[in-house]
Amino acid sequence: MIHKVDNEDRVYIIGQHTKYTKNVLLFIAFIVAGILSVIAGVYLYNKQTCPQKTSQGKSLEEVEVISRDATAPKFMGNKNFQQFLVWVGKNLKYPHGHENENAEVIVAFTISKEGTITDIQILLEPQNKAFGQQVVSLLKQCPRWSPGRLANGTATDIRYTLPVRFSKTRK
């Protein structure tokens, strides 16, 4: 006895003995497409809302590339950034009553077109706010800078982020 099979409703997968109807395959494709859409949506949402992380786990808000012909601000008119770090190290004082504590403050600031430090923001500080206040106070006393300049000579604001460590071994 010969049975006539309607092959239009069946799809055969090569190398398998299983028979799938077109409706089952469409259902599986729909589910897979839905899962991939959800994964892509979550990825795009996280990419837009979460800042990128560096290898140390710190957030990077933005990075701007400046031409090679641009010049960095000069501390006290003619000194490099390293000399500024030396000045910070020499003038940084512990908050009164906290001389035996270790602490770290991360501060962001702008060296303006006029050569002054502006827009000082504490990005990270210990629970004791006195350390952050000490860093802000020091930066407000900073000598003038010659401003950074673009390749065409135009003075420009330059933003820096500076970690400042208070260490019991250094007084």
Residue 78 sits in a domain whose CATH number is: 3.30.2420.10
Residue 100 has pLDDT above 50, yes or no: yes
158 found inside a domain: yes
Q: In this predicted model, which residue has the larger pLDDT, 31 or 148?
A: 148
Is residue 157 domain-shared with residue 101, that is, in the same domain? yes
43 found inside a domain: yes
Q: Domain range holding 41?
A: 7-49
Is residue 21 domain-shared with residue 78, that is, in the same domain? no
pLDDT at 71: 87
How far is Cα 94 from Cα 170, in angstroms, rounded to an integer?
10
Q: Residue with structure tokens 């933003």?
A: 159
pLDDT at 128: 86
Is residue 30 domain-shared with residue 65, that is, in the same domain? no
45 found inside a domain: yes
Q: Per-residue b/e over 85-122, b at no fewer than 16 CB within 10 Å?
A: eebeeeebebbeeeeeeebebbbebbbbbebebeebee
Instruction: Give the type of residue at 33.
Output: A
Mean pLDDT rounded to a whole number for the chain? 78
| 133: nearest Cα among 160, 166, 161 | 166
What's the whole-model pTM score? 0.60
Is residue 25 domain-shared with residue 92, that is, in the same domain? no
Is residue 105 domain-shared with residue 140, that is, in the same domain? yes
Is residue 108 domain-shared with residue 160, that is, in the same domain? yes
54 found inside a domain: no
155 found inside a domain: yes
Is residue 66 domain-shared with residue 44, that is, in the same domain? no
2 found inside a domain: no
171 found inside a domain: no
Residue 54 has pLDDT above 50, yes or no: no
Q: What is the pLDDT of residues 10-36, one digit of tens each?
A: 555 555 545 556 666 666 766 767 777
Query: What value, to the nearest 5°, has the Cα angle with vertex 65 and ends 64 and 71?
Result: 110
Is residue 105 domain-shared with residue 64, that is, in the same domain? yes
DSSP secondary structure code for residue 97 in this structure = T
How far is Cα 148 from Cα 159, in angstroms, rounded to an integer?
10
Is residue 66 domain-shared with residue 103, that is, in the same domain? yes
Is residue 94 domain-shared with residue 14, that is, in the same domain? no
Is residue 83 domain-shared with residue 36, that is, in the same domain? no
Q: In this predicted model, which residue has the larger pLDDT, 58 or 144?
A: 144
139 found inside a domain: yes
- H or E element, residue 27: helix 22-49
Indicate the number of domains in the chain: 2
- The residue ranges of DSSP E strands in 13-154, in sequence order, are 19-21, 52-53, 59-60, 74-75, 103-111, 117-124, 145-146, 148-149
User: Which long-range contacts (C-beta less than 8 Å, at least 24 apart) are formed by 53-61?
Assistant: none
Using a 10 angstrom Cβ sphere, with 0-12 exposed, 13-18 middle and 19 or more buried, the burial of residue 156 is middle
How far is Cα 13 from Cα 25, in angstroms, rounded to an integer?
11
Is residue 106 domain-shared with residue 63, that is, in the same domain? yes
